[in-house]
């Protein structure tokens, strides 16, 4: 069988509206020095210099929308429907009051990253820094201060996001992985959505540099991400009867929760946000980040705590280490409380998988 190339990616992903614009195909193109593929400001990546394409197929294989290697990943990471393999599920909270004050949930991801940095287990972390309630940028954090700037709930309402025409809650983290190669980071942690983590795991299976330098993979629970232009921004503001600049904090539990600067809280069902969902999210079946070392989210947790799914031995080791060293504290859970958490994650995992199955079925019919 002929090797798949970027041309196949265009046909199977871009033309179907499934490209998530993660930037993996552009960042890790074998002929990147020739500028074969470039990101587009208004759509999926495009061929710029097709004649220079080496037709190696890497761009195709690492795309999160392509099924290649997914069976291998499921076997390697002991996938078990619907939650994926896990060693245990718990809840925790940072012991740092300053982190807790700015965190989306319990500040566990932030405190674990600081623990890794303090102990010399990483020399950098690829994170998503929030620059507005509906805009983020990828950074490589190398200090505690960098990590704190990427913690969950502080928004700079004066940022130019309110003067631009594009808004998105999704951050192309994969592009920063390429930058890490240039700066010679050897021990990295990555925090990402299921599609991003799937791409990273594919890269590791293929031996694509610098994925070999990723020591820890932190996965976020993900129902969907949002992307909209100025028109949809105005539509959203009218629908919610708010201004985006008045948002203090966004969180996702059973619903999308928006806290306003004036203290008001708004709960929005995901069904109400279909118009703003990134197209690629329609096809994603992974809610709890199956291939991560640890998964994190607010679902099932009381305010001020994070639900943690411990999946891999290295994830368990650093979680327990951070508890022993006093960076985080684990919540004591009764058997019925643990079962309730598992039931909620299973419910949302099933819901997302069924939504994707319906979408892909309709896509094939049309």
Structural domain count of the chain: 2
Q: 150 and 7, same structural domain?
A: no
Q: Is the pLDDT of residue 358 over 80?
A: yes
Q: Is the pLDDT of residue 168 over 70?
A: no
Q: Quick one: pLDDT at residue 164?
A: 33
Q: 116 and 56, same structural domain?
A: no
Q: 282 and 248, same structural domain?
A: yes
Q: 243 and 104, same structural domain?
A: yes
Q: Quick one: pLDDT at residue 39?
A: 84
Q: 335 and 360, same structural domain?
A: yes
Average pLDDT over residues 346-364: 91
Q: Quick one: pLDDT at residue 32?
A: 77
Q: 245 and 122, same structural domain?
A: yes
Domain containing residue 41 = 1-61
Q: Quick one: pLDDT at residue 170?
A: 59
Q: Could you say which of 13, 34, 61 is where a domain stops?
A: 61
pTM of the model: 0.85
User: 110-142 pLDDT, tens per residue?
Assistant: 999 999 999 999 999 998 776 655 556 778 899
User: 36-53 pLDDT, tens per residue?
Assistant: 998 887 778 899 888 999
Q: 130 and 40, same structural domain?
A: no
Question: What CATH number is given to the structural domain containing 35?
Answer: 3.30.70
Q: Quick one: pLDDT at residue 211?
A: 87
Element (H, E) at 201: helix 194-206
Contact assessment for residue 288 and residue 84, using Cβ atoms and an 8 Å cutoff:
yes
Q: 280 and 306, same structural domain?
A: yes
Q: Could you say which of 9, 39, 61 is where a domain stops?
A: 61
CA nearest neighbour of 191 among 124, 105, 94, 131: 124
Q: Is 228 helix (H, G, I), strand (E, B) or coil?
A: strand
In order of 85, 116, 171, 221, the CA distances from 148 in angstroms are: 30, 14, 18, 20
Q: 320 and 284, same structural domain?
A: yes
Secondary structure (DSSP) of 306-349: EEEEE-SHHHHHHHHHHHHTTSEEEPP--HHHHHHHHHHHHHHH
Place of tokens 């999926």: 44
Of all residues in the chain, the percent with pLDDT exceeding 90 is 47
Question: Predicted confidence band at 238 (pLDDT cuts at 50, 70, 90)?
Answer: confident
Q: Is the pLDDT of residue 178 over 70?
A: no
Q: Could you say which of 44, 61, 78 is where a domain stops?
A: 61
Q: Is the pLDDT of residue 345 over 60?
A: yes
Question: Predicted confidence band at 157 (pLDDT cuts at 50, 70, 90)?
Answer: very low
Q: 103 and 12, same structural domain?
A: no
What does the alpha-carbon distance between residue 133 and residue 247 come to, in Å, rounded to a whole number? Answer: 6
Q: 14 and 89, same structural domain?
A: no
Contact assessment for residue 135 and residue 159, using Cβ atoms and an 8 Å cutoff:
yes
Q: Is the pLDDT of residue 363 over 90?
A: no
Question: Predicted confidence band at 184 (pLDDT cuts at 50, 70, 90)?
Answer: confident
Q: Quick one: pLDDT at residue 253?
A: 77
Q: Is the pLDDT of residue 219 over 90?
A: yes
Q: Quick one: pLDDT at residue 159?
A: 28
Q: 76 and 53, same structural domain?
A: no
* Mean pLDDT across the chain: 85
Question: Predicted confidence band at 154 (pLDDT cuts at 50, 70, 90)?
Answer: very low
Average pLDDT over residues 281-296: 94
Q: Quick one: pLDDT at residue 208?
A: 86
User: 252-280 pLDDT, tens per residue?
Assistant: 777 778 888 888 888 888 777 777 777 78
Q: Is the pLDDT of residue 94 over 70?
A: yes
């Amino acid at each position: 069988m002929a090797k798949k190339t970027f041309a196949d990616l265009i046909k199977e992903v871009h033309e179907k509206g499934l490209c998530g614009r993660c930037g993996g195909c552009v960042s890790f193109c074998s002929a990147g020095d020739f500028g074969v593929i470039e990101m587009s400001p208004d759509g999926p990546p495009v061929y710029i210099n097709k004649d220079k394409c080496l037709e190696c197929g890497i761009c195709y294989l690492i795309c999160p929308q392509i099924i290649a290697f997914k069976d291998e990943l499921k076997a390697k990471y002991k996938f078990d429907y619907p939650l994926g393999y896990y060693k245990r599920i718990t809840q925790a909270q940072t012991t740092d009051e300053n982190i807790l004050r700015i965190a989306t949930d319990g500040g566990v991801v932030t405190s674990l990253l600081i623990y890794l940095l303090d102990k010399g287990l990483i020399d950098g972390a690829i994170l998503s820094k929030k620059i507005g309630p509906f805009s983020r940028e990828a950074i490589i954090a190398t200090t505690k201060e960098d990590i704190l700037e990427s913690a969950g709930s502080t928004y700079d309402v004066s940022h130019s996001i309110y003067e631009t025409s594009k808004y998105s809650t999704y951050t192309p983290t994969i592009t920063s992985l390429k930058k890490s190669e240039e700066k010679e980071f050897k021990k990295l942690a990555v925090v990402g959505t299921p599609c991003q983590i799937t791409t990273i795991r594919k890269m590791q299976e293929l031996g694509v540099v610098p994925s070999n330098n990723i020591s820890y993979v932190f996965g976020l629970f993900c129902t969907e991400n949002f992307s909209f232009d100025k028109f949809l921004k105005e539509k959203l503001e009218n629908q919610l009867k708010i201004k985006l600049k008045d948002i203090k904090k966004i969180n996702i539990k059973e619903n999308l929760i928006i806290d306003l600067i004036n203290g008001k809280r708004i709960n929005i069902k995901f069904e109400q946000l279909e118009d703003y969902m990134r197209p690629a999210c329609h096809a994603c079946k992974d809610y709890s980040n199956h291939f991560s070392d640890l998964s994190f989210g607010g679902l099932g947790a009381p305010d001020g705590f994070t639900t943690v799914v411990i999946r891999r031995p290295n994830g368990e080791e650093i979680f327990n280490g951070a508890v022993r060293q006093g960076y985080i504290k684990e919540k004591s859970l009764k058997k019925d409380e643990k079962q309730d958490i598992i039931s909620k994650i299973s419910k949302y995992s099933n819901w997302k998988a069924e939504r994707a199955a319906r979408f892909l079925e309709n896509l094939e019919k049309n």
